[in-house]
Amino acid sequence: MILDILQSILRPSRRAGASQTTGLNREDHARWDWVSPICILILSICGVFFIYSAQLNSIYSNWTDQIIWIFLGAFVYLVVSFIDYDIYMKYGHWLYILTLGLLIAVLIPGIGLLRDGARRWLDLGPLNYQPSELAKISVMIIISSILARSEIGKITESLTALVKVALVVFFPMVLILAQPDLGTSLVLIPMVLGLLYVSNLSMRFFTTVFLGCVFVIGTVTWDVNRYANFLEENNYTPTSHSGAYEEHSFLPYLKDYQRNRILTFLMPEKVDPKGSGWNLNQSLISVGSGGLTGKGWTEGTQAKLGYLPRSVAHNDFIFSVLAEEKGFLGSLTVLSLSGILLLNGVRIASKARDRFGMFLAVGVTIIFTIHTLVNIGMTIGMMPITGLPLPFLSYGGSFLLSCCILQGIVQSVYRHRKAF
pLDDT at 180 over 90: no
- Average pLDDT in the 31-50 region? 93
> For 371-396, what is the HEC assignment?
HHHHHHHHHCCCCCCCCCCCCCCCCC
* Position 5 confidence tier, pLDDT thresholds 50, 70, 90: very low
Q: Which residues pair with 113 in a beta bridge?
A: 121
CA distances from 355 to 23, 88, 305 (A): 24, 13, 51
CA distances from 37 to 313, 345, 366, 372, 420 (A): 26, 12, 18, 18, 20
Q: What is the pLDDT of residue 306?
A: 74
- Average pLDDT in the 101-128 region? 78
* Strand 112-115 with 118-123, pairing: antiparallel
Sequence spans of domains, the chain? 31-415
pLDDT at 242 over 70: no
DSSP string computed for 55-115: TTTSS--HHHHHHHHHHHHHHHHHHHHHS-THHHHHHHHHHHHHHHHHHHHTTSBTTEEEE
For residue 154, the 8-state DSSP code is B
* Position 12 confidence tier, pLDDT thresholds 50, 70, 90: very low
pLDDT at 250 over 50: yes
Report how far residue 322's alpha carbon sits from residue 375's, in angstroms, rounded to the nearest whole number.
13
* Position 332 confidence tier, pLDDT thresholds 50, 70, 90: very high
For residue 128, the 8-state DSSP code is E
Report how far residue 299's alpha carbon sits from residue 413's, in angstroms, rounded to the nearest whole number.
42
Helix (H) or strand (E) holding 118: strand 118-123
- 398, 106 contact by CB (below 8 A): no
Q: What is the pLDDT of residue 24?
A: 42
Lowest average pLDDT, out of 77-81, 128-132, 218-222, 382-386, goes to: 382-386
* Position 145 confidence tier, pLDDT thresholds 50, 70, 90: very high
Give 307-327 pLDDT, tens digit per residue.
777 777 788 889 999 999 999
- Average pLDDT in the 273-288 region? 74
Task: Phi first, then psi: give them for residue 9, nearest 5 degrees.
Answer: -100, 5
* Position 30 confidence tier, pLDDT thresholds 50, 70, 90: low
pLDDT above 70: percentage of residues in the chain: 85
Q: How far apart are the first and last CA of the chain?
A: 28
pLDDT at 28 over 60: no
Report how far residue 377's alpha carbon sits from residue 194's, in angstroms, rounded to the nearest whole number.
20
Q: What is the pLDDT of residue 80?
A: 95
Report how far residue 150's alpha carbon sits from residue 160's, in angstroms, rounded to the nearest whole number.
9
Q: Which residues contact 17 (CB under 8 A, 6 or more apart)?
A: none
Report how far residue 75's alpha carbon sits from residue 308's, in angstroms, rounded to the nearest whole number.
34
The more confident residue out of 376 and 300 is 376
pLDDT at 16 over 60: no
Lowest average pLDDT, out of 137-141, 264-268, 303-307, goes to: 264-268
